[in-house]
Amino acid sequence: MTYSKEPLHQILLNISKQVNAPISFLFYDTYEELVHSDQSVSEITSLTIKKNLHKLALKQKEIELLLQFTQTLGSHNLSQQLKQISLVLVHLHHELSDALAEEKRFASLFRSLGVLTGLLLVLILI
């Protein structure tokens, strides 16, 4: 995908059509605000993220990372912006590995809890 020649609002609209909900709402709402507002891109994206938080399953650390990233949008040249995106991706991969480790830990806990609950029901019914 090459978006470098299109206006930002058009890029956001295109992305909103390509991704699934609820993230598509985030891109579409940002597009709408960008077209109808005279605020800066970073202000609009920050407000849109905060407005859509209830639709997104993000932890506080992920929200802060996303908000920090939006502060840099459009304020650097292309190569610096690509570096910023790479840095955000590294942080997101770290968050993903933490989430997978947490999932493993809780999965075994819930599995054990399910087995113990089943045993308790068998003992009560006997």
Residue 22: is the preceding peptide bond cis (ω within 30°)?
yes
Same domain, 80 and 117: yes
Same domain, 43 and 56: yes
Average pLDDT per consecutive 10 residues, the chain (126 residues; last block may be shorter): 71 92 91 90 89 88 88 79 90 93 90 91 88
Listed residues 60, 75, 90: the one ending a domain = 75
Q: Which residues contact 108 (CB under 8 A, 6 or more apart)?
A: none
| d(C-alpha 25, C-alpha 28), whole Å | 5
Same domain, 19 and 58: yes
Query: Which pLDDT value is given to residue 4?
Result: 62
Query: Which pLDDT value is given to residue 3?
Result: 53
Query: To the nearest 10°, the Cα dihedral for 99, 19, 9, 53?
Result: -40
Same domain, 85 and 65: no
DSSP for residue 53: G
Structure tokens belonging to residue 39: 């605020």
Same domain, 4 and 45: yes
Polymer length of the chain: 126
Query: Which pLDDT value is given to residue 48?
Result: 92
Report how many domains make up the chain: 2
**Whole-model pTM above 0.75?**
no
Query: Which pLDDT value is given to residue 1?
Result: 45
Q: Which domain holds residue 41?
A: 1-75
Same domain, 109 and 54: no
- DSSP code per residue over 11-50: HHHHHHHHS-TTHHHHHHHHHHHHHH--S-HHHHHHHHHH
